């Protein structure tokens, strides 16, 4: 099973658990069954165990997703699209695992007018990065910190309350991060920003979805894969099957 499907499943499970007020898979199973018992068309349906979904060991079937959605509206969108935000869901699964074209589309979701126009006009990845991050991460500070053996400035800024991370911003940052890998442009800069969120910011944001460890773990795999790709590129050992981004 692909790791990203495990992440989607765990986030979906925690959304369902939050909706019914369950703290364990056993409670969630019983609470969902109680709701099903009140529905005429599902009162005699076989009980559905939520134990396999709690750790993402089994991906819910379309039938299961639809059944739960009929009882708890808007839960399926967390599995299909991403975590809930005001007015909808953040497409973080696409940002995390989509193609270059998909990643570019998600950036337009983040800022429809500005990022759509910039990309259509052929703006560089560096330009896109500065457009999105300049407000929160001063370029001069980041450039000065790059390559120095000192604590990550982003991590320190978050710890001191100088930086607030939203699901929308994280989705955009991941898009820029992976786009820099696809295009081989601006990676050290955006990687410094994203990895500075690994220790505290991302875990705190993802905790309600049960992904405080697994989400960062997958991001670390993405980073490691790209560094390995760059080493192969530098040594002239790339093959057709090698890709710059997971």
Q: What is the DSSP string of 172-209?
A: HHHHHHHHHHHHTSSHHHHHHHHHTTTTTHHHHHHGGG
Kind and range of the H or E run holding 214: helix 214-235
Q: Give this prediction's pTM.
A: 0.93
C-alpha–C-alpha distance, residues 36 and 226, integer Å = 46
Average pLDDT, integer, range 169-195: 96
C-alpha–C-alpha distance, residues 193 and 186, integer Å = 11
8 Å CB contact between 139 and 130: yes
pLDDT class for 141, splitting at 50, 70, 90? Answer: confident
Residue 141: helix, strand or coil by DSSP? helix
Annotated domain spans of the chain: 3-79, 84-235
Angle 168-169-174 from CA coordinates, rounded to 5°: 100
C-alpha–C-alpha distance, residues 65 and 70, integer Å = 9
Q: Does the pLDDT of residue 229 top 70, yes or no? A: yes
Q: What is the DSSP letter of 74?
A: T
Average pLDDT, integer, range 220-243: 91
Distance of CA 23 to the CA centre of its chain: 23
8 Å CB contact between 50 and 122: no
> What pLDDT, on a 0 to 100 scale, did the predictor assign at position 47?
67
Q: Does the pLDDT of residue 202 top 80, yes or no? A: yes
Share of the chain above pLDDT 90, in %: 76
Average pLDDT, integer, range 152-175: 94
* Tens digit of each residue's pLDDT (9 = 90 or more) over 43-69: 556 667 999 999 999 999 999 999 999
C-alpha–C-alpha distance, residues 21 and 111, integer Å = 34
Q: Exposure of 126 by Cβ count < 10 A (0-12 exposed, 13-18 middle, 19+ buried)? A: middle
Terminal alpha carbon distance of the chain: 14
Encode 224-236: b = buried (16+ Cβ within 10 Å), e = exposed.
Answer: ebbeebeeeeeee
C-alpha–C-alpha distance, residues 227 and 142, integer Å = 20
């Amino acid at each position: 099973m692909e790791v990203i499907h495990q992440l989607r499943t765990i986030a979906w499970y925690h959304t369902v658990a939050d909706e019914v007020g369950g703290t364990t898979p056993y409670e969630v199973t019983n609470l969902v069954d109680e709701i099903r018992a009140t529905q005429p068309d599902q009162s005699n349906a076989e009980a559905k165990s939520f134990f396999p979904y709690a750790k993402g060991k089994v991906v819910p079937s379309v039938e299961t997703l639809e059944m739960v959605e009929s009882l708890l509206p808007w839960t399926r969108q967390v599995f299909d699209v991403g975590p809930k935000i005001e007015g909808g869901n953040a497409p973080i699964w696409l940002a995390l695992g989509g193609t270059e074209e998909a990643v570019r589309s998600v950036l337009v979701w983040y800022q429809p007018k500005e990022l759509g126009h910039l990309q259509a006009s052929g703006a560089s990845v560096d330009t896109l990065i500065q457009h999105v991050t300049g407000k929160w991460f001063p370029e001069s500070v980041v450039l000065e910190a790059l390559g120095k053996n000192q604590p990550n400035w982003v991590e320190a800024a978050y710890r001191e309350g100088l930086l607030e991370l939203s699901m929308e911003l994280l989705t955009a940052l991941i898009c820029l991060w992976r786009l820099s890998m696809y295009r081989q442009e601006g990676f050290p800069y955006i990687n410094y920003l994203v990895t500075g969120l690994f220790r505290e910011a991302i875990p705190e944001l993802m905790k309600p979805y049960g992904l405080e460890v697994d989400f960062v773990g997958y991001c670390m795999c993405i980073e490691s894969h790209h560094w390995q790709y760059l080493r192969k590129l530098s040594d002239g050992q790339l093959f057709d099957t090698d890709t710059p981004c997971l």
